[in-house]
Structure 1
Amino acid sequence: MGTPDIYIGLMSGTSLDGIDVAAVSFNPKLKLIATHSEAIPERLKQKILQLTQPGDNEIDLMGLVDIELGQLFAKATNSLIHNQGLDKKQIHAIGSHGQTIRHRPEFSYTLQIGDANIIAENTGITTVSDFRRRDLAAGGQGAPLVPAFHDQIFRTTNRDRILLNIGGMANLTYLPAIATEDVLGFDTGPGNVLMDAWITQAKDCPYDKDGAWAQTGNCDEKLLNDLLQLPYFHEKPPKSTGREQFHLSWLSRKLKPYSTAAADVQATLLDLTARTVTDSINKYIPSKTFELLVCGGGSRNKTLMNRLQELLPHNKVCTTDDAGIDADWMEAAAFAWLAKQCIESSPGNKPSVTGAKGERILGAIYQT
């Protein structure tokens, strides 16, 4: 059958909307071979959410969830292999992002769980995980990591590009057309995390499909300006963030002085995501003429995409579908690539993005 060519990427992000599994070939260029989405049981999701905030008995809970997630990641991988009839001999390695439960770069630590020992044991495939901490050890933020992948796949000499991933958090990558210019990238702030949390509380619905509910409301400009005062939005890159900052309790505290209608809160949160993205572009990205390629769950929010286009009237806003890679599978493909980089002893970070002292090989290898 030849030498192994396929890498599998596993991604479970801050949105907790499921585990994305992508089988990818990189010979000679990226090809998305097969995909699978595995739901996270509600009971497990609640345990993960519990671990993202301080609480009681955290170590025991983390240990149990670490095992359960490892088993679920392995199940998701095996489901893709079985459903697509893939030959395990052709799969070189699995790259597992893991589930982030704490990201505190200000204290030089980040923590992802989902035991890679269990993934390797239950799939019979070498697994690479723990991608972020080596970058932190080198003085970086440990995030975002996908810009190095974006640089390899999407950079072109024809035009400046910005890749925007809208998952739970939103992060962007600036890819200048001039090859000698540095790639830039950072987390702009919340992506879907606050919108999802609010609609779950208000309507017992996991997300606002197409941004339909937000579209029925009106942005509360006073509330929006209050939210925009958060110091994170005014910090210079490199920077990264997570649920430690953006969560329902924080939002509830900010809403106390207001009597904003529920749909108007949703509209305001959508505008918060759009504004923090476009404000970041206008402030930190040197190019004024670029193509904005959007991926992640937020790329399917029509109201959000329209708002981004309104705020960037002179630039094309579209999804990465238009550039040849399905927007829903971008991050899973990125961690397949990061596994490949690790296996080949090649660097996986971008110091110009994370602030690390230099390029580093990322990830720990769990061999079979």
Structure 2
Amino acid sequence: MSARLYVGLMSGTSMDGIDCALARCDERGTTLLATYEHPIPPATKQRIVEISRPGDNEIERMGALDRELGHLFAKATLSLLSKEQVPSTEICAIGSHGQTIRHHPPSSHQPSEQGFTLQIGDPNTIAQSTGITTVADFRRRDIAVGGEGAPLAPAFHAAAFAKAGHTRAIVNIGGIANVSLLHSEGQVLGFDTGPGNTLLDHWINRQLGQAYDKDGQWSAAGSIRPDLLARLLEHDYLSQSGPRSTGKEVFNLAWLDECLADLSSPATPQEVQSTLAEFSAESIARGIAQCEVPVSEVYVCGGGARNSDLMRRLAAKLGTATLETTASLGIEPEWVEAAAFAWLAWRSMAQLAGNIPAVTGAQEEVILGGIYPGARPRTQ
């Protein structure tokens, strides 16, 4: 095999699992070769949830979880390579996004305050345990030059999915949704549109004890509460111009509970789920509409691409634009983000910038991530 192989690791806000992608990356493009989803133990998920909220003894708990996730990401990588029978010596680098536990970008702070973002999953542990050079902590360098640190995916979307003469939108629907607007003449815009799956997942978990609404079946069978939808759409984040980014710190059940308390009459749990699906679709559609020229093609990736109800609602709001998943462009929707971090690792190792200032608001292009050299390769 070529020495141009990279592994991308992505653990998103939904914490469904660790997405692992094996890809060949170079100047000619990115080819996805293999994928694997590694489980996150329930107890680890709970620790992630707890550390993502302000609480006692945060430094002690964060330090321990940082190491725990480093070992878990290393195990995920070695499992992928074992499954594919690829020696670790064939891998140039691992690109690890890490697990976001806080995202407070500059736009969310007063001018006198420092914005920041924090992802954990110790890259030293990953490099030592796998023997593979690891690139991690991608977002903070962008913030250091005045950016939001997010979204980073539009740079990869442009490299992998742009086509001259076609104005496309690539929509990633994870916990938070983001859109990359790929202009026909090469310009790239992108920003977080608001919630994707996060409110839907947390609400059904609270009401029915389910991790997510499979195919959007529960939301599809419910009715929209117009008064609740109007209240959700009042959120000032939706009126901000890009660059902008957001997270669970903004769109969460505590905020939803505030909105529900403002209603003149209670909404049923299923009405809330249906309204949340409409809210996600509407906020995504508004983001797509911010493109300066009409978007003719929309491609969806992320877990939301498998939510039939959410896709139906989004399609109804796009006018004449076509709606498909990124499978039509060569990468299955579940693996786009992991592939993006394999590509970002290649960019970093090649000393090439990984951000787009027009997207993140950074003052300049910069090489993203810290590089942690691999140790002697371990036996797989």
Q: Secondary structure at the match of 1:17?
A: coil
Q: Which residue does 2:3 correspond to in 1?
A: 4
Normalised to the residue count of structure 1, the TM-score between the two structures is: 0.97
Q: Secondary structure at the match of 2:299?
A: strand
Q: Which runs of 5+ in 1 are unaligned?
A: none
Are residues 1:257 and 2:256 paired? no
Percent identity of equivalent pairs: 49
Per-residue CA distance 1:83-128 (angstroms, 9 max, x = gap): 1111222210000000000011133210000000010011110000
8 Å CA contact 2:30, 2:343 repeated in 1: no
Q: Which residue does 1:304 correspond to in 2?
A: 310
Q: Determine which of 176, 190, 215 is the counterpart of 1:185.
A: 190
Q: How far apart, CA to CA, are the structure 1 residues paired with 2:29 and 2:89?
A: 20
- Figure out how many residues of one structure are paired with residues of the other and give that number: 364
Are residues 1:151 and 2:150 paired? no
Alpha-carbon shift at residue 29 of structure 1 (Å): 3.1
8 Å CA contact 2:288, 2:295 repeated in 1: no
Q: Which residue does 2:123 correspond to in 1?
A: 116
Q: Secondary structure at the match of 1:358?
A: coil
Q: How far apart, CA to CA, are the structure 2 residues paired with 1:151 and 1:88?
A: 29
Between 83-92 and 136-145, the greater mean CA deviation after superposition: 83-92
| 1:102-141 to 2 correspondences below 5 Å | 102-106=102-106, 107-141=114-148
Q: How far apart, CA to CA, are the structure 2 residues paired with 1:252 and 1:59?
A: 29
8 Å CA contact 2:11, 2:17 repeated in 1: yes
Q: CA RMSD in A?
A: 1.1
Q: How far apart, CA to CA, are the structure 1 residues paired with 2:364 and 2:295?
A: 30
AA of the residue aligned to 2:19: D
8 Å CA contact 1:108, 1:137 repeated in 2: no
| 1:49-64 to 2 correspondences below 5 Å | 49-64=49-64
Q: Determine which of 270, 283, 292 is the counterpart of 1:286.
A: 292
Q: How far apart, CA to CA, are the structure 2 residues paired with 1:362 and 1:29?
A: 19
Are residues 1:327 and 2:333 paired? yes
| 1:184-203 to 2 correspondences below 5 Å | 184-203=189-208
Alpha-carbon shift at residue 279 of structure 1 (Å): 1.4
Q: Which residue does 1:343 correspond to in 2?
A: 349
Per-residue CA distance 1:131-169 (angstroms, 9 max, x = gap): 001100100000000111111111111310000000000
Are residues 1:222 and 2:246 paired? no
8 Å CA contact 1:348, 1:362 repeated in 2: yes
Normalised to the residue count of structure 2, the TM-score between the two structures is: 0.94
8 Å CA contact 1:132, 1:142 repeated in 2: yes
Alpha-carbon shift at residue 313 of structure 1 (Å): 2.5
Alpha-carbon shift at residue 253 of structure 1 (Å): 2.2
Alpha-carbon shift at residue 40 of structure 1 (Å): 1.1
Q: Secondary structure at the match of 2:55?
A: coil
AA of the residue aligned to 1:208: D
